[in-house]
């Protein structure tokens, strides 16, 4: 059995749903520069830092020769976002993938080093400056859909991507073929028109950006445009035909956590107020930090008129976070307008 086959077998044994190999050739950069020049990154300045490192594996691992791309699926049919109530993106109801993926990739690297002593590798998830989606497409893991997420037949798009860059010459897999065809379901369904062209998302219009990456104040023009989302947005994936038959993930860490899955506003608020990190341990929700999470929940409450809502908001009037207090005052004024009408 070839080393490539042993790598694939080990990756599947470690729980990855798909694996592919491609050469560590630099990626053509015009698409990235065009995206940045258009301002689609909003105020995510980390996207602007060292763009060349994102497209050249040798900048991360000198002597890089191959990129092993993997997919770790998180779809749980036993979890459905509530019909009413604050919504949290499905990827965040279980353990943070930034913990799950590197653990498995490091074990895959250890296996390779047993086979090839002296081999070097670099583990990358999206916290590192890599173009995960392009590596996945090149390695045959999946194609980049019109919503800009990677899709794979039989798997859909409910999966995370990671890479293991190695200094070994490995045989390449065939790149993935696009199967989106003429479908525009994701573009048509995006509630804020964030998919401004095929495979181009403008973060300035994206609910996921506003509820996850945005720090500080959310402009008033956007406060009533977040639908029921308080962390992320899954609309473009929910309407994708390739996700209709997505299998259930076997990754135990991605099992829905009861507090998050129930998504009851009073429980979420109490948990965040008491001890945010302890209430949501090893959770992707930590990306927003305590203040951002309560800010988002406040904006959801602003659209739920009634005495119960007011009582919940009044608990935050004297919150220690000035940004939370600012949004609470706005939310109370919005509720007052509803009462007047």
Give CA–CA dist 260/283, Å, rounded. Answer: 10
- Rounded Cα distance between 309 and 302, Å, is 8
Q: Among residues 73, 68, 65, 71, which one has the least CA distance to residue 20?
A: 68
What does the buried/exposed string (b/e) look like for 39-52 if buried means 16 or more CB atoms within 10 Å of the residue's CB? Answer: ebbbeeeebeeeee
Q: With beta carbons less than 8 A apart as the criterion, state whether 163 and 94 touch.
A: no
Domains of the chain: 3-166 (no CATH), 264-341 (1.25.10)
pTM of the model: 0.93
| Catalytic residue check, 126 | yes
Burial of 183 (0-12, 13-18, 19+ CB in 10 A): middle
pLDDT at 80: 77
| DSSP structure class, residue 22 | E
Tokens of 110: 């250890």
pLDDT the model gives residue 206: 97
Give pLDDT, residue 246: 93
pLDDT at 312: 95
Q: Is residue 314 packed enough to be buried (19+ CB in 10 Å), middle (13-18) or exposed (0-12)?
A: exposed
Catalytic residue among 43, 56, 126, 227: 126
Supply the pLDDT for residue 66: 98
Element spanning 10, H or E: helix 3-13
Q: Identify the pLDDT of residue 340.
A: 62
161/17 Cα distance (integer angstroms): 10
| Binned average pLDDT, 10 residues per bin, the chain of 341 residues | 97 98 89 83 79 85 97 90 87 96 97 97 86 95 97 97 98 98 98 95 97 96 96 97 94 95 94 94 96 98 93 96 97 84 58
Compute φ and ψ for 267, nearest 5 degrees: -70, -45
* Distance from the first to the final alpha carbon of the chain: 73
CB 235 within 8 A of CB 187: no
- The one-character DSSP state at 199 is T
Q: For residue 126, give Cα distances in angstroms to 33, 163, 287.
A: 18, 9, 13
pLDDT of residue 83: 75
């Amino acid at each position: 059995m070839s080393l490539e086959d042993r790598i694939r077998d080990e990756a599947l044994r470690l729980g990855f749903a798909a694996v592919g190999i491609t050469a560590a050739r630099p990626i053509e950069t015009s698409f990235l520069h065009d995206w940045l020049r258009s301002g689609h990154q909003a105020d995510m300045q980390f996207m602007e830092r060292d763009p060349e490192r994102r497209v050249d594996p040798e900048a991360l691992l000198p002597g890089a020769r191959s990129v092993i791309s993997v997919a770790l699926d998180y779809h749980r049919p036993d979890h459905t976002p509530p019909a009413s109530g604050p919504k949290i993106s499905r990827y965040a109801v279980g353990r943070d993938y930034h913990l799950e993926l590197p653990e498995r990739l490091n074990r895959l690297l250890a296996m390779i080093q047993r086979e090839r002593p002296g081999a070097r590798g670099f583990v990358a998830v999206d916290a590192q400056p890599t173009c995960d989606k392009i590596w996945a497409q090149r390695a045959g893991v999946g194609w980049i859909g019109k919503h800009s997420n990677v899709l794979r037949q039989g798997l859909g798009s409910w999966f995370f991507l990671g890479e293991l860059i190695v200094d070994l010459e490995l045989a390449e897999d065939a790149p993935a073929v696009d199967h989106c065809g003429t479908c525009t379901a994701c573009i048509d369904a995006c509630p804020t028109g964030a998919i401004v062209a095929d495979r181009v998302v403008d973060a300035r219009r994206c609910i996921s950006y506003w509820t996850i990456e945005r720090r500080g104040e959310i402009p008033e023009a956007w406060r009533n445009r977040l639908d029921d989302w308080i962390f992320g947005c899954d609309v473009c994936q929910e309407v994708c035909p390739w996700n209709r038959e997505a299998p259930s993930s076997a990754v135990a860490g991605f099992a829905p956590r009861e507090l998050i899955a129930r998504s009851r506003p009073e429980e979420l608020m109490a948990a965040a107020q008491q001890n945010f990190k302890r209430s949501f341990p090893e959770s992707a929700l930590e990306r927003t930090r305590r203040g951002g999470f309560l800010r988002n929940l406040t904006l959801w409450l602003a659209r739920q008129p009634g005495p119960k809502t007011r009582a919940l908001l009044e608990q935050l009037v004297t919150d220690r976070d000035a940004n939370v207090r600012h949004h609470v005052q706005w939310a109370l004024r919005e509720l007052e307008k509803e009462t007047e009408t």
